[in-house]
Structure 1
Amino acid sequence: MSRGRHSPVPQPTPDERALLEALVRRRQTPRGLATRARVILLSTDHPEWTLSDIGEKVGLCDDTVSVWRRRFIRAGIDGLSDAPKSGAPRSIQDQQVEQVVRLTLDTLPAHATHWTTRSMARASGLTQSAVHRIWRAFGLRPHLTSSFQLSKDPLLIEKVRDIVGLYLSPPDRALVLCVDEKPQIQALERGGVTFPMQPGQEERTGHTYIRHGTTTLIAALDAKVGAVIGRCYPRHRTVEFLDFLEEIDRRVPSELAVHVILDNYITHKTKAVQGWLIQHPRYTFHFTPTSGSWLNLVESWFALLSRRRLRRGDFHSKDDLEQAIEAFIAQNNEHPQPFVWKRSADDILDSIRRFCLPYLRTTTSRDSSESVH
C-alpha cells in the first residue's frame, strides 16, 4: 500500500461486526450509513491501509474517513449516525423509533402480508407521517419486494473467475463473444387508438392486440466493441444453433481465436455441437453458472432491444418484426457501444458470501438448537 496518513484502527466486537455487515448488505440502508459501516469494515480487515487507501475505496476524503473511525472507537455503532440537528425538542423518543423499526423488521400485521403506514400507526401509537419519516430515515420500504436466484452450480467460483477474467483481461489476438437466444418474440399488431405524448401526459395505447406469430433471435455480442451478429430463426434447436455458429465463423477473421460465453441450454452441448468444436479448434466455449445468466453481457443487449424496439413496437407480420430487429442490429453496429464490465470476480464472490452469511448463521444456530434438544 502507498504511504499516507493513519489513525487508530477500530476493533468492532463480533456483534458489532455482524451489524456492520448487515448495514452494508441491506439495500434499504441509507447510503451515508452504509458507507460509514464499510469504512469500519475495511479498516478492520486491512489495518495496514492508509486513510487515503480507504477513502479511495469508498469515495471519501482522508479527514472524513478519520472522523468516522474516531467516532466509532468512541461511541461504537451509534457513533456512525448523524449528529442531532439544532431546532425544537424531539417529540418522538428513541424507544418509539426502536419499536417501529423492530415491528417492521421482525413482525407482520394480522391478516396482511406487510405493514402500511396506517397499520403501523395503529400498532405503535404514532401518526402516519411519523411512521413514514422513520421508515424513510432507516430505508425501510415494506411495500416493496424483490426476487433473487442463487446459483447451486458446484463450479460457481471457477466459472465466475473464468468469465469475468475474459471481460477484464481478454486474451491477445482473440475475440470474446457473448451468445444467447431470445426465443418467442411475438409479432404484435397493436389494436385501438394510440394517443401521442403530450406535455404532462405519457403516450397512451389500447390494451388489445393481434398476434402474427413468433420468432427467435440468436445473437452474439462482441464484448469489447459492442457490435452484434444476429439472425432470426423460426425455432431454436441444435440445427439453428449450428447454422448460427457457421455465420459467426464466416464473419470473424480466421486468424483470431474465439471465446464464446453462453449458458447451459441443451442445444449448446449436443454431440453435433461438440463435433463442430472439434472441427473448429479456434473456438472455446465458456459456460455461465447455473442460474447465472447475469454474467452474459448479451442479456443486457437483449434488454436494450426489448426496451427500445420491441416492447412498444407495432408489427403487422412476422417478417415485419424480423426486419425491425435486423434494422436495430444494423443501427447498433454503425455506432457500437460496449457494455463495460467493472466488477472483479473477488467483488462478486464477496457479495455472494455476504448475502449468504445470515442464512448460514441462522441454519447453524437452528441445527445446534435441534441437536441440543
Structure 2
Amino acid sequence: MGRPKAALVLTAQERDRLEELVRRRSTPQALALRCRIVLACASGAANREVARQVGAEEHTVGKWRARFVRDRLQGLGDMPRPGGPRSVSDEQVAAVVKRTLESTPKNATHWSTRAMATQTGLSQSTVSRIWRAFGLQPHRSETFKLSTDAYFVDKVHDVVGLYLDPPERALVFCVDEKSQIQALDRSQPVLPMMPGIPQRTTHDYVRAGTTTLFAALDVTTGAVIGSLHRRHRTEEFKKFLAKLDREIPPGLDVHLVLDNYATHKTQAIKTWLIAHPRFHLHFTPTGSSWLNLVERWFAELTNKQIRRGVHKSVQALEKDIRTWIADWNTNPRPYVWTKTADEILERLASYLKRIPDSGH
C-alpha cells in the first residue's frame, strides 16, 4: 500500500564517498545525516525503518531518497534559495569548520572569531555565524576523568543495581565526607542587594577554621543523616557509622555506597563491620564520584548555604549546616537514578571511540 519507493542502488564509488563523509569530523551534521539516510535506504529498508534508525522524520527520509535517485551525490547539497547571491562558498564554510576543529592558532590555545577571520580572510560576523550554525564554541572547555579502576564494570553494575533495584528489608545510603569546609568572614560588611545592583562582598576574607561534614543520603526518601567533626580520620568515620547504627531501625540491612578513601578501608573499620554484620559497603570505581548521589546533595548545600555564607567562627558555620540539614529533612527530595549500568557503559564506549589515544 502507499506510493512505491524509488529504487536506490549505490555504486562502489558513491558508497565510499558517503561513508567517508559520515566518518569525517568536519562534515556538517546536516550533510552527515543525509548521507546516513542514503546508506540506510540503499540497504533496502523502508522509509519508516530508516527514519527510526537515523532519528529523522519519515517525510525527510523520503525527500532525500528521491533527491539522491534524481541527482545522485550532487543532490545532497542545499538547493539555491531566493535572495542575493551567496558571498561565502561551501568550501569556505568547510575550511572554517575544519580549521576550528583540527588546529589552534600559533599564539593561543583556542580560536577567537577575530583570529579566525584574520586567518581565513572572512569577516568576524561571518565566522561567528558559521560557528553558531555548527554549534562550535572554541572558548568553552569542560573537564572529564576516565576511571582506571580494574573493576570498573563490576562496580558500576553493583552500585547502579542498588539504585534501581534495592534489596528487600534493606536501606541504601550514599555516604561521603565533605572535608575542609571553611568558616569565612568577609574583611568588610556585605553590601545588600538593591534594585539594579546585586549583593556585593569583598574578594578577600578572614579564615576562622574548618570543619568536616559526614553525610548519608537515603536513596529512597532523600533524607540525610549528618555528623560534623573537626577532623576526618578513621576514628571520626567509625563514630559516624555508630550514629547510623543508632538511627537506622534494627532488623534492616544497611548498604552504604562510598568512595575509596583510605579511612573507609582501615583495619579498625573492618573490625567494626564484623561486629555489625547488617552493614555492607559498596565502593564506587576510583575517579567516579559522579556515581555517588550524595555528591549532588553536597552541591546543593554548597550553593545554597556555604558559598555565600559569612561565618565568624566554626561554631557558627556548624550551626548553619545543622539548621540547613534539619530544614532539608522536613521535606526531603530523593534524586532518581534513571540510567542502567549497560546504558552507562555503552555511552562510555561511544565516548572512548572519539578519543584517539584512549587505549580502548
TM-score, length basis structure 2 = 0.83
Q: Is the 8 A contact 2:258 2:292 kept in 1?
A: yes
Cα displacement (A) at 1:97: 0.4
Correspondence 1:125-144 to 2 at 5 A: 125-144=121-140
Q: State the partner residue of 1:166.
A: 162
Aligned with residue 191 of structure 1, among 184, 187, 194: 187
**Residues 70 and 168 (structure 1 numbering): CA distance in 2 closer, same or farther, change over 3 Å?**
farther
Alignment of 1:200-211 (within 5 A): 200-211=196-207
What is the CA distance between 1:48 and its match in structure 2?
10
- Separation (CA, whole Å) in 1 of partners of 2:181 and 2:196: 32
State the alpha-carbon separation in 1 of the partners of residues 73 and 252 from structure 2: 55
Contiguous gaps of at least 5 residues in structure 1: 1-6, 365-373
Say yes or no: does 1:157 pair with 2:153: yes
Output one character per residue of 1:58-80: Cα deviation in whole Å (capped at 9) or x when no partner. Answer: 6x7x6467558858986999999
Residue 266 of structure 1 corresponds to 262
Cα shift at 1:360: 4.6
2:214 paired residue number = 218
Residue 91 (structure 1) aligns with = 87
CA distance in 2, matches of 1:82, 1:203: 51
Q: CA RMSD in A?
A: 3.9
- Give the equivalent residue in structure 2 for 1:339: 335
Percent of matched pairs sharing the same residue: 46
Q: Any residues of structure 2 matched to 1:25-174 within 5 Å, and which?
A: 51=48, 63=58, 66=61, 70=65, 86-174=82-170
Consecutive aligned runs of 4 or more in structure 1 exceeding 4 Å deviation: 7-23, 32-37, 47-58, 64-86, 360-364
Query: C-alpha distance in 1, partners of 2:59/2:315?
Result: 60
Aligned to 2:310: 314
Residue 85 of structure 2 aligns with an amino acid whose one-letter code is P
8 Å Cα contact 2:22-2:32 kept in structure 1:
no
Identify the match of residue 286 of structure 1 among 282, 286, 292.
282
In the aligned structure 2, how far is the partner of 1:337 from the partner of 1:221?
A: 10
TM-score by length of 1: 0.80
Determine if the alignment matches structure 1 residue 329 to structure 2 residue 320: no
Name the CA distance, whole Å, in 1 between partners of 2:202 and 2:53.
51
Contact 2:173–2:217 (8 Å) recurs in 1 = yes
Structure 2 CA distance for partners of 1:21 and 1:186, relative to 1, 3 Å: farther
C-alpha change, 1:226 and 1:334, in structure 2 (3 Å) is: same
Matched residues in 2 for 1:303 and 1:10: separation? 55
Q: 1:182 aligns with which of 169, 178, 183?
A: 178
Which deviations, in whole Å up to 9, do the C-alpha atoms of 1:101-133 show, x marking residues without a partner?
A: 111111221222111111111110100000000
CA gap 1:312/1:69 in 2 versus in 1, 3 angstroms: farther
1:246-290 CA-to-partner distances (Å, cap 9, x unmatched) read 101111111211111000000001111111111111111110001
1:229 corresponds to which residue? 225
For the Cα contact (< 8 Å) 2:234–2:264, is it kept in 1?
yes
Aligned counterparts of 2:207 and 2:321: Cα–Cα separation in 1: 17
Q: CA deviation at 1:10?
A: 12
Question: Which residue of structure 1 lines up, in the alignment, with residue 237 of structure 2?
Answer: 241
Q: CA separation of 1:200/1:34 partners in 2, compared to 1, >3 Å: closer, same or farther?
A: farther
What is the deviation of 1:90?
A: 1.8
Unaligned runs of 5+ in 2: none
Equivalent residues, number:
348
